[in-house]
Structure 1
Amino acid sequence: MLVLVTGGTGFVGAHTVAALTRVGHSVRLLARDVSTVEHALAPLGVSGDVVEVMLGDVTDQAAVSRAVRGADAVLHAAGVYTFDSRRHRQISRTNVRGTELVLSAARRFAVGRSVYVSTVGAMLPVAGGVLRLDSPPGRPRERYLASKAAAEALARQHQAQGDPVTIVYPPALLGPHDPRIGDQTARLRYLLRGMMPVWPDGGFPLGDVRDTARLLAALLDAPRRGPDRHFGPGRHVSTAEYVRTVREATGRSLRTMFLPARGMLPFAYAASLFQRVWPWYIPAEYGACYVCACDARSADAPPALGLRPRPLVETIADTVRWLHGARLLSDGQAGTAVSAVCRCGDAAPVRQEETRR
């Protein structure tokens, strides 16, 4: 099967490309820069010459049409995931317009299966704090989450019109080999560097990018049933449990104070406004605080396709070891995690522009 993957040089996309090639699928990438392909895929054991690369952007209709034509399936993972207020315009354009162009092209060329990578945050806030697969798209008070809610509404419209669209809701994700050091990986790094001594209470869903990639690859061959929607592997963790697990993985004390998330929202919002004019990154994001304040968890249900998530401490330890190997954490910051046997392979060099956080 020839699978077009958008966002294949990002965190979720790259791991999913590796999962697809492992099970024998042919992969075509829509990428803006061919130089990013090797950087993202080589650490995962995927050579750039085994994937077909088509240059273009998901917001360019002509480029999307060229990429989708001839594909048997589409996996749409392209998107801007960040709570950084400096990227608001890019967030809306990529996450909403890109989704509509890709899914419309898949309909036009009669693609047999499209898998859209949404997020649990697309349904925030949710009544009662419990997310269900039929929960409506939310109306969140945050730009990234609002863009994903709008894209979610578009994907559900395609489902309602009979298009073979599968929607997956991954939790927040950690794991090794993050090509661009996304928000969740950066947040763990800040904690270990002593830059986040104060945390909101509440919690958020968390999982491993490798488990989500396995699910996305498996869904391309799985039977479709009704409104084809799935929560990604993971579980809800409180912020206190998260910090406690980082302590377990690293052996470090990590003195941390927890404050009421809703009480922190005004400060986090002001920090996001100031971030628009301040050149250095401020690790106090309104969106992250908002998610913790919502404190939503998915309803109890069997794991999608029976794929159970790996232990959280393993995910965090592997992420810490990779950050250490990529020279983004010192020996002391990584703690005892670096003394264990690393299961994440050789660390890829991190591009200079990716260390700006």
Structure 2
Amino acid sequence: MILITGGLGFIGTHTTRALLDLGESCVLVQRRPAHVPAAFAEEAGERLFVERADLTDERALLAIGERHEITGIVHLAGSMPWPPGAHEPIDGARQAMASLLNVFNAAREWKVRRLGLASTIGVYAGVTATGALSEDLPLPMTSPHPIPRFKKIGELMADHLTEVTDVETVSYRIGAIWGPLGHAPDPFFAAAQLVHAAARGTEPGASRFHLGDGLDLCYAKDCGRAIALLQTAERLRHPTYNVASGRLTTNGEVVAAIRKLVPDARADLQEGRGPDTIDMWLDTTRLREDTGFEPAYDVERGVADYLAWLRAGNER
């Protein structure tokens, strides 16, 4: 049984679905009260369970292992001071690190087969290499944002604890994820805003973005499946994997895909490229070779699926 922290969140929900489809059972850990979504109704109580626990409460977390036989952990919850300013700075950092260490301790206590940790494409910020970014590239010590800052700390902590304990740990450097249950607007890329606007016939409000700017966009269902494959693979040869589409997708490509389905869709993006644009996409060779993963959703299929989801009455 796989324990997933943040299992009812954006990426967590898609990862849960993928693990269930692979035949696994899941325990989803949420800090706030949560009910089982309708999408998991068939598995609820048999192959899927929801537990409430704050990860900073080690006793509450370990108690879950008394009720369920946990064989693996996928840690997708924050382990960072978030949202910014919500905590006193030092206390916020202390809580973030405590939650991460508690997850490691639970993995050791339960003797899980594998612990997966969510990292981010943002750890590559400042890398000067060109082309697809591989996991072996040296990363700068600095980060422009608290998310990649704490993800780097988490990766270093994972390297240390993997060396001194018997817990196999794998870090997922997750690309720019878009699709059902995602947030719109997103401060880092325009895809979600553009699809939401097309579904509702409104202006996207994305004029700060440029048509020529691009990023490694990975559809949410593909992301969840990649993480599930990394968790269930018989053998992994590396401690770090890029979880992404493995290609650069420009805002212009997203707009073109939307207009094939919604010809009158509005797009208020600027022409050309932004003055500080840095193209960033990830090398997914490790992921493909060790799990057999290939993205099932290109831009057009992703747009069609996302539009259908929103038009079915889903808010995000």
Same fold (TM over 0.5): yes
Match of residue 196, structure 1, among 202, 206, 223: 206
Amino acid at match of 1:197: S
What's 2:49 paired with?
52
- Matched AA of 1:105: A
2:158 to 151, 155, 160: 155
Mean Cα displacement is larger for which, 21-30 or 7-16?
A: 21-30
The gaps in structure 2 that reach 5 residues or longer are none
Structure 2 CA distance for aligned equivalents of residues 58 and 73 of structure 1:
16
Out of 121, 133, 136, which is 1:134 matched to?
136
Q: How does 1:1-357 map to 2 (within 5 A)?
A: 2-34=1-33, 36-38=34-36, 41-43=37-39, 46-50=42-46, 51-68=48-65, 70-79=69-78, 96-129=97-130, 130-138=132-140, 139-161=142-164, 163-176=167-180, 178=181, 183=186, 187-188=193-194, 192=198, 193-194=202-203, 195-200=205-210, 202-234=213-245, 235-251=247-263, 252-258=265-271, 261-262=274-275, 293-299=277-283, 301=285, 304=288, 305-309=291-295, 310-326=297-313, 347=314, 350=315
The number of equivalent residue pairs is: 295
| C-alpha distance 155-245 of structure 1, shift in aligned 2 (>3 A) | farther
Please tell me whether the aligned partners of residues 226 and 243 of structure 2 are also in contact (alpha carbons under 8 angstroms): yes
Letter in 1 for 2:14: H
Classify 1:110/1:84 alpha carbon distance in 2 versus 1 (closer, same or farther; 3 Å).
Answer: closer
- Check conservation: 2:71, 2:110, Cα contact below 8 A: no
Q: State the SS of the aligned residue for 1:198.
A: coil
Please say if residues 218 and 244 of structure 2, whose CA atoms lie closer than 8 Å, have aligned partners that are also in contact: yes
Deviation at 1:4, TM superposition (A): 0.9
Structure 1 stretches lacking a partner, 5+ long: 264-292, 327-346
Inter-partner Cα distance in structure 1 for 2:285 and 2:9: 29
Which whole-Å CA distance do the structure 2 matches of 1:159 and 1:171 have between them?
24
- Aligned partners of 1:87, 1:95: CA distance in 2, in Å? 12
What SS does the aligned partner of 2:112 have? coil
TM-score (norm 1): 0.70
Indicate the structure with greater helix content: 1
Displacement of 1:153? 2.3
CA contact (8 A) 2:184 2:193 kept: no
- Asked if the contact 1:198/1:258 (under 8 Å) is kept, the reply is no
Mapped partners of 1:207, 1:190: distance in 2: 17
Distance 1:31 1:158, change over 3 A: same
After superposition, the C-alpha distances for 1:279-330 in whole angstroms (9 at most, x for unaligned) are xxxxxxxxxxxxxx4422223626522221121111122112222323xxxx
TM-score using structure 2 length = 0.78
- Partners of 1:226 and 1:216 in 2: how far apart? 15
SS class of match (1:131): coil
1:86-121 CA distances to partner (integer Å, 9 max, x unpaired)?
A: 668798677654333212321243212112222222
RMSD: 3.4
Relative to 1, partners in 2 of residues 1:318 and 1:136: Cα closer, same or farther, differing over 3 Å?
A: same
User: Relative to structure 2, which stretch is displaced further, 243-252 or 201-210?
Assistant: 243-252
Distance 1:91 1:47, change over 3 A: farther
Distance of 1:302 and 1:96 partners within structure 2:
28
In structure 2, what residue type is equivalent to 1:5?
I
